[in-house]
Amino acid sequence: MKILDNPAKDTWKKHLARPVFKTKEINKIVKPILRKVKRNGDKALLKFALEYDHVELDSLFPSEQEIQAASAAISAELKDAINVAKTNIERFHMAQATPELVDEVMPGVVCRRKSVPIQKVGLYIPGGTAPLFSTVLMLGIPAVLAGCKEIVLCTPPNKEGKIHPAILYTANLIGINKIVKVGGAQAIAAMTFGTDSVPKVDKIFGPGNQFVTAAKQTATKYGVAIDMPAGPSEVLVYADDTAIPAFVAADLLSQAEHGVDSQVILVTDSEKFAQRVIKEIDAQLEDLPRKDLAKKALSNSRAVIIDEMETALELINFYAPEHLIISVEKEDEAVAGIYNAGSVFVGNFTPESAGDYASGTNHTLPTYGYARNYSGVSLDSFLKKMTYQKISPEGLKNLGPTIEVMAENELLQAHKNAVTIRLKHLKNQKK
């Protein structure tokens, strides 16, 4: 991990640059996959399972026996952990529900706004180097709470043609029964265009590798919404001497182990503290099963020394991290100064892992600087806000002249006439 000592602001972009996607090369692979799935449907999915997952599937769906076997394969300890996480995530996301808004903005003019579930949603759950059954909770629970009519879950099979039992168990636990054995860009294609087995959806959610990300971005060109643009996972830790170096190192490594293109950043006011954290990273790294991935990710990572809190907060907001951990003495001041971050973890005893699994917040968050303009997944992600208005005859008399003047001045005579004809009708009724 390279140490930067109070870098000039005009160098921040260079020093904090994320790993760059080779977009053209990726799209050269992804676009033909989308075309083949659009044209050949399930046949293409089965072919890609053989090509990429190295398995010949008899069916794209898990059997009832597979679902039951998955439950038996999960330890009681893991089931208990999943249930605790499920309870917390359900509670926090249920609390996000808002009542219907009704307001009579002027006499006779009533406006309403209410939440309506997106009818068909697709959830992509990675199952490669790390089977993310936690993402089933993070995406499936708000989809169920929102009342989405159809929920499709796609996840890649292993070489035996099976879905990881924890993914299958968790999906079944929260009531998702449309589970498809398909991964990668081909899964996104299937949910974008629809096949005999996979319904076309209205919105696609979920993390994935660079090919999945590219496929999701392409899906938006075909009228399918996505949760957010995404890049590799990342964390920024803002810490001072009141933080515990071993904790900071563990948090940095927890993101570095996601993959070689992950990025972790330490911001601190003390080079001595940074050195202590780096020493801890080196010690903890050796015990990690995924240490080779983490080592490569650390090559993209930085420890930045910033003397003044004001400047440190400016740098953090500039970077706009997916995960932000704040472990400084003046934590309230630091928290109040943050406006660009996916999710914030406050204090020495709030590891980023808590949000990844079980605290209740959602771990599907904007990466690659998109925290400047995107929110993480929430209950609202699965809802649309629809507005309604009802105007009484008296209300139209009150509001109508305003509309007529505005429409006339925009040279939209038909808009004006739609009001005028009604006002004349009401006037004639009185005669």
Q: What is the pLDDT of residues 329-360, one digit of tens each?
A: 999 999 999 999 999 999 999 999 999 999 99
Whether 77 has a binding-site annotation, put simply, is no
Q: Which pLDDT band, with edges at 50, 70 and 90, does 165 fall under?
A: very high
Full set of structural domains in the chain with CATH:
23-227 (3.40.50.1980), 231-375 (3.40.50.1980), 392-430 (1.20.5.1300)
Structure tokens at 316: 């953090």
Q: Is the pTM of this model over 0.85?
A: yes
Confidence of residue 128 (pLDDT cuts 50, 70, 90): low
* Cβ proximity of 116 and 383 under 8 Å: yes
The span from the CA of 168 to the CA of 70, in Å, is: 6
Question: Residue 129's pLDDT is what?
Answer: 64
Integer Cα distance of 153 and 137 in angstroms: 12
DSSP state of 53: S
- Residue % of the chain over a pLDDT of 90: 88
Q: Is 258 labelled a binding residue?
A: yes
DSSP designation for 243: S
Among residues 3, 48, 5, which one has the least CA distance to residue 311? 5
CB-facing half-sphere around the CA of 418: CA atoms within 13 A: 7
- pLDDT band, residue 388 (cuts 50/70/90): very high
- Residue 212 is predicted with a pLDDT of 93
Q: Is the pLDDT of residue 256 over 70?
A: yes
Alpha helices in 126-270 (DSSP H): 133-146, 165-173, 184-193, 210-219, 245-256
> Which residues, including other chains, have CB under 8 Å from residue 223's CB and lie 6 or more apart?
none
164 annotated as ligand-binding: no
pLDDT at 431 over 80: no
pLDDT of the residue at 259: 80
124 annotated to a ligand binding site:
yes
Q: What is the rounded (10 degree) CA torsion for 144, 146, 150, 152?
A: -60
**Residue 222 known to bind ligand:** no
Task: Give the number of C-alpha atoms closer than 13 A to the C-alpha of residue 398, restricted to the C-beta side.
Answer: 12
Residues designated catalytic: 322-323
Structure confidence by residue, pLDDT tens digits, 43-65 = 999 999 999 999 999 999 999 99
Q: What is the mean pLDDT of residues 77-100?
A: 97
Q: In the predicted model, is pLDDT for residue 374 greater than 80? A: yes
| pLDDT recorded at residue 113 | 98
Give the burial string for 195-230 (b: 16+ CB within 10 Å, else e): bebbbbbbbbbbbbbbbbbbbbbbbeeeebbbbbbb
H or E element in which residue 83 lies:
helix 76-94
Beta bridge partners of 57: none
Q: Which of 105-119, 143-157, 250-264 has the lowest mean pLDDT?
A: 250-264
